[in-house]
Structure 1
Amino acid sequence: MDVRTFGELIDWTRQLHEHLAACLAHCADIHEEERARMLLNYLAAQEAEMQRVVARFEQTADAKALKTYVYDYLEHKPIRTHRTCDAPYSTLSVDDICREVFDFHEQTINLYRTLVGKAEIPEAKELLDSLLALEEHEAMRLVRQTGRMNDV
Structure 2
Amino acid sequence: MEIKTFEDLIDWARQLHAHLARSLGESVDGNRNERASALLSYLSQHESELERITAEFEKQADPKVMKTRLYDFYNHKPFDSYRKPDHYYAKLSFDEIAVEIFYFHDELMALYRSLLRKAELREVADLVEELLEMEENESMRLARQVRSMDDI
Partner of residue 92, structure 2 = 92
AA aligned opposite 1:6: F
- Checking the alignment, whether the CA contact within 8 Å between 2:16 and 2:82 is kept in structure 1 is no
TM-score by length of 1: 0.97
Q: CA deviation at 1:86?
A: 3.9
Per-residue CA deviation, residues 21-67 of structure 1 (Å, 9 max, x unaligned), is: 00000000211111111000000000000000000000000111100
Aligned to 1:73: 73
Which structure 1 residue ranges, 5 or more long, are not aligned?
A: none
Q: Aligned equivalents of 2:7 and 2:40: distance in 1? A: 29
Change (3 A) 1:138 1:31: same
Q: Which runs of 5+ in 2 are unaligned?
A: none
Is 1:63 the equivalent of 2:96?
Answer: no
Assess if the C-alpha contact under 8 Å between 1:64 and 1:123 holds in 2. Answer: no
CA distance in 2, matches of 1:84, 1:76: 18
Q: 1:84 to 1:93 in 2, by over 3 A?
A: closer
Matched, 1:30 2:18: no
Match in the other structure for 1:128 = 128
Distance in 2 separating the partners of 1:84 and 1:99: 15
After TM superposition, give the deviation of residue 77 of structure 1 in Å.
1.5
Aligned to 1:9: 9
The letter for the 1-side match of 2:28 is: A
Aligned residues: 152
* Contact 2:22-2:86 within 8 A present in 1 as well: no
TM-score (structure 2 length as normaliser):
0.97
Moved over 6 A (4+): none
Aligned to 1:117: 117
DSSP-derived class of the 1:150 partner: helix
Determine whether 1:106 maps to 2:106.
yes
| Distance of 2:143 and 2:53 partners within structure 1 | 19
Cα RMSD (Å) of the superposition?
0.9
Q: Counterpart of 2:54 in structure 1: which amino acid?
A: V
- CA separation in 2, counterparts of 1:86 and 1:7? 26
Code of the aligned partner of 1:38:
A
